Structure 1
Amino acid sequence: MPVSTCVFDAYGTLFDVTAAARDAAADPAFPELETTWTQLAAQWRLKQLEYTWLRALSNRHTDFWQVTQDGLDWALEAAGLADRPALRQRLLDLYWQLAAYPEVRAVLDTLKEAGLNTAILSNGSPDMLNGAVHSAGIGPLLDDVLSVETVGIFKPAPQVYDLVVTRFGVAPDEVLFVSSNGWDAGCAADFGFTTAWVNRAGQPVDKLPGQPDFILDDLTRIPEIALSR
C-alpha cells in the first residue's frame, strides 16, 4: 500500500545527540572537554541505549530521563570526571535543547505539504520530547509525538511500534519509519514497516531478522522515498 504515515525516531535521527557535549566543550568553564567531548558523547549515548535494553529485558522500566542520567554518570566516571557536578548539570540542561539536524524542517515541510501524517516515535519521555520539539520549533509540522511511556517498555518491543498503527489507524505497510539506529530500523522492518536507516556514521548493517529497506546518509531523500511507495 502507499505510504500514508512517516514516523521518525527522535534522538540521533531528528535531534543531534552529540550536541550537548559539543556545546559544553565550547564553554570556557569546562576546558577538560576540549579534547574529550567526542568520546564522552559516544559513551554517554551507548550506555543510554544499553540501559534501555537491559531494563526492558529485566522488566525494570524507568523513564528515558533516568537512563539518560545514568548513562551520563557512567560516561563521566569513565572519563575521570565524576567529581564535576557543575559539568554534569550543564550537560543535562543542554540535553533538553538538542539541535535538530539542518535538513529536518525542510523534510517535514515537504511531507506535510504532500498530505502525509508525520510523527515521532521515541524512547524519550513525553516531557523530554516536548522540550526538544519546542526548542527545534517543529511542533506544527508533527501530527503527534508518541512515547514508549504509553506502553511502559523501550524499543524494540513490538508494542512500541504498534503505537503508530493504533494512533493513525493504518496497516504497518502504510508506514515509513525512519531511524538513525540500525537495530531500530531492522526491528521496525521485522514488525512490518517500510524502514529507512539514516546511517550518518557509515556503520555496517546489524545482523538481525529484519533489514532496513533504505540506507541513507541523512534525511534529505525521505520525502522522495515516502511519495514513491
Structure 2
Amino acid sequence: MTHAAYVFDAYGTLFDVHAAVRRHASEIGPQGPALSQLWRAKQLEYSWVRSLMGAYRDFWQLTEEALDFALASMPDVDRSVRATLLDAYFKLDCYTEVPGVLKALKARGAKVAILSNGSPAMLESAVRNAALDEIIDDIFSVDALRVFKTAPEVYDLVTTSYRAYPEAISFQSSNRWDIAGAAKFGFRPVWINRNQMPDEYPDLAPSLILPSLSGL
C-alpha cells in the first residue's frame, strides 16, 4: 500500500544514536555502552519533563545537558571526550538500509519526510552527513512549536503542511512511545523495533512492526 507520505522519526529510526560513543569507544573505555544508554535516556527524559512544565529548551541543549549528566555519573570516563562526542552526535551515521529504502519510497511517488524532536541545525547536519539531502523532501522539527513529542500538535505539523488526513500518513519510529503518540493522532504507525523490545501501550498499537526499515 502506498501512502501520500512516509514520515520518519530521526534519532534511533534513521540515525544510530549510539554511533557517537561507538565511534570513540577506545577513548571512552569499557563504560562506553552504559554511557551511551544513559545519555539517550536522559535526553528523552529531559524532553518529556520540559514539555510537561512548558519550559522548552531545544534538543541540542538537552543533548548537551544529558551528556553532562552521563559523564558526571561515570567518573571513570575522561571528561575530555565531551567535545568529541558532541561533534560526533552532530554527524551521526544512518543505518545501512536507510538510503536504499528512502530512495525506493520516493520512486513510488510518495513524499519522504522527517518529523523529529531534533533542532533544525542538528537534523540538517545529520541528513547532510548521511547524504540524504537529495532524498528527503521535508524536515519538520518540533522547534517550530517549542514542545516535544508526543504532543499532538507535533504530528499535526505534517498533516497541516501536506493538507492530508492523518490516515494517509505512514509514520515510522523506533521509539514505542512515539508510535503510541502517532497512533493516538491517527497516523498509520509502523514500529521499527530494532532491538526486539517488548510491546507497550497496548491500547495504542502500531499498524505494523518491523525489525528494520527494509520491510516498508
- Write the distance in 2 (CA, Å) between the matches of 1:80 and 1:194: 44
- Write the distance in 2 (CA, Å) between the matches of 1:195 and 1:68: 26
- Write the distance in 2 (CA, Å) between the matches of 1:128 and 1:95: 9
Where does structure 1 lack aligned partners over 5 or more consecutive residues?
A: 223-229
Out of 91, 104, 115, which is 1:97 matched to?
Answer: 91
Write the mapping of 1:143-158 to structure 2, written as runs, cut at 5 A.
Answer: 143-158=137-152
Partner of 1:66: 61
- Write the distance in 2 (CA, Å) between the matches of 1:208 and 1:152: 29
- Write the distance in 1 (CA, Å) between the matches of 2:37 and 2:160: 34
Please give the per-residue CA displacement for 1:23-62, whole angstroms capped at 9, x wherever unaligned. 1114xxx2xx231111111110000000000000011001
Partner of 1:199: 193
Out of 221, 225, 228, which is 2:215 matched to?
Answer: 221
- Write the distance in 1 (CA, Å) between the matches of 2:170 and 2:135: 16
Partner of 2:24: 24
SS in 2 for 1:76: helix
Q: TM-score, normalised by structure 2?
A: 0.96
Partner of 1:226: none
Deviation at 1:200, TM superposition (A): 0.9
Please give the per-residue CA displacement for 1:139-159, whole angstroms capped at 9, x wherever unaligned. 111110000011110000000
Letter in 2 for 1:153: V
Deviation at 1:81, TM superposition (A): 4.9
Partner of 2:116: 122
Deviation at 1:207, TM superposition (A): 2.3
Deviation at 1:211, TM superposition (A): 1.4
Alpha-carbon contact 1:73-1:82 (below 8 Å) kept: no
SS in 1 for 2:109: coil
Give the percent of matched residue pairs that are identical in Structure 1 and Structure 2. 46
- Write the distance in 1 (CA, Å) between the matches of 2:106 and 2:67: 36
- Structure 1 residue ranges, 4+ long, deviating more than 2 angstroms after superposition: none
Deviation at 1:82, TM superposition (A): 7.2
SS in 2 for 1:159: helix
Partner of 2:6: 6
- Write the distance in 2 (CA, Å) between the matches of 1:93 and 1:203: 29
In structure 2, the CA distance between the partners of 1:123 and 1:76, relative to structure 1 (3 Å rule), is same
